[in-house]
Structure 1
Amino acid sequence: MKDIENKLKNPVWYSLKETHKKFTIEYDGVHFYQPDICIFGAFFDESKTAKALNEYAKIAEKFFLVSENKTPIIDANYVLLEKKIDGCQMVLENLVDLEITENIVLLTEDYIDEIYDLIWLVMPGFYRKRGFEMGKYFGIFKDNKLVSITGQRMQTDDLIEVSGVVTHPNYTKRGYAKQLVAFTTKEILKENKLPILHTNKGNTAIPLYEKLGYKLTRDMNWWLFSRK
């Protein structure tokens, strides 16, 4: 249990050390995803972040460092801090069973473009098309089109993050997201891993996640940088 707790404190780092090791780029102990997969990085020693960010900025225009409570150091000559996103981590405490009434399907590579377009419509800016390779994606189709999805993002040997929870604006308030999160959570449990998720503090979706059995556990902050 202690091992999982340590990984929860730095999920990007441990994802890149374990399940997503093949996607890792390292600069002197600071780990990043390949930028066409995901633009997240993680660290333990903030004294090493300035040089590492300078190097990563050569291949990525915008990128994040993710940290529970540490403040990364930057070289302001090359990298600009755009904003700090105050986030939080939620961990499944007790699964609340929910009847799945929609037809939820595992999305294949045939739907990579549709997944990308839907996420960018609802949450533009950061999702990469090859993010599909980070984990499984599930979807609901209506009127012969993909209207709601959820996916899996960060992963270690012990846990999997639920992410990419988006619904087309014309199909909201029908319970699709709730059913998708519940379905994805069950799929993670089938792999004997701990379901987790991350969101912004104050997000109106937090009560929905709590109703499904998730509990707020800690801050998890996203520092957004850009190449200067």
Structure 2
Amino acid sequence: MLPSSSASTRISPVSGSDEALLDRPIWSALTTSHKHLAEGGPLARRYPVDMTPFADMVDMSAASFAALGDLMSGSQVAALFTPEPVEIPSGFKVVLAETGEQMIGSPADSPLRDAEIVRLGAADVPAMMALTELTKPGPFALRTHELGTFLGIRAGGELVAMTGERMKPGQFVEMTAVCVHPDYRGRGYAQALLAAVARRIEARGELPFLHVFSNNNSAIALYQRQGMRIRRRLYVTALMREG
């Protein structure tokens, strides 16, 4: 069982200039804390495709799009999170265009009485993949778990809930893959896992945030009840190379 952290480990909010890293969270992550994972160069960067499809560019120029295209092959998808809508040039096609809410804050503690939170690792990847395929929380690949700590809850030997860490722009850490098996919803598992992941982030002197599609009203309401707030809306654009 994982030890719990007290609220005293939480840190103060950062300045507006530091928070601006979240306006382009993918680019910020790939040029700061996750720089060692970045594929690409000064115009375009992406995560390894077996970690996540996230990518971004230094700007929206033709040269930057060309550099992004050079990082993509076959049917690979590049997913962008941007503060403004993306105008796709010729040579690309859009496969997803949505908006998402970026939320920041410290989720309130939510203790469990009937379950134990455990840390997940490489041996749990098949179960993690199965749970995310069932619940569709967003992209989750074979190496996504390497981006940060993932915590889960098992019942009857089956992984029934999990949450973890993904992008790390500066001192911010994104909470991701918030998912609960349909048969185990309504038990407070998502709230407890969010709080547990947030406490681990804050214990390192970092700040939690997350993304949720704008039309996922129930999830937004859950995060707001836990004390998080919407910081801004981002545009989520997934694209492929034509041909």
Task: Please say whether Structure 1 and Structure 2 have the same fold, judged by a TM-score greater than 0.5.
Answer: yes
CA contact (8 A) 2:50 2:141 kept: yes
- 1:137 maps to what in 2? 150
Question: 1: CA distance between counterparts of 2:175 and 2:231?
Answer: 15
Superposed, which structure 2 residues align to 1:62-141 within 5 Å?
62-76=77-91, 79-92=92-105, 95-101=107-113, 102-123=115-136, 126-141=139-154
Question: 2: CA distance between counterparts of 1:205 and 1:28?
Answer: 36
- 1:16 maps to what in 2? 30
Amino acid at match of 1:103: E
Assess, with a 3 A threshold, how the Cα gap between structure 1 residues 124 and 191 changes in structure 2: closer, same or farther: closer
Question: 1: CA distance between counterparts of 2:203 and 2:75?
Answer: 36
- 1:5 maps to what in 2? 19
CA contact (8 A) 1:82 1:225 kept: yes
Assess, with a 3 A threshold, how the Cα gap between structure 1 residues 96 and 69 changes in structure 2: closer, same or farther: same
Deviation at 1:124, TM superposition (A): 7.7
- 1:54 maps to what in 2? 69
**TM-score, normalising length from structure 2?**
0.85
CA contact (8 A) 2:44 2:65 kept: no
Question: 2: CA distance between counterparts of 1:153 and 1:126?
Answer: 11
Question: 1: CA distance between counterparts of 2:144 and 2:174?
Answer: 13
RMSD: 1.9
Which segment drifts farther, 163-172 or 129-138? 163-172
- Can you give the 5+ residue segments of structure 2 that lack an aligned partner in the other structure? 1-14
Alignment identity in percent? 28
Question: 2: CA distance between counterparts of 1:124 and 1:151?
Answer: 12
CA contact (8 A) 1:137 1:152 kept: yes
In the TM superposition, what whole-angstrom CA distance separates every residue of 1:6-53 from its partner, at most 9, and x where no partner exists? 211111111111221122112551221111111111223101343133
CA contact (8 A) 2:161 2:179 kept: yes
Question: 2: CA distance between counterparts of 1:57 and 1:100?
Answer: 43
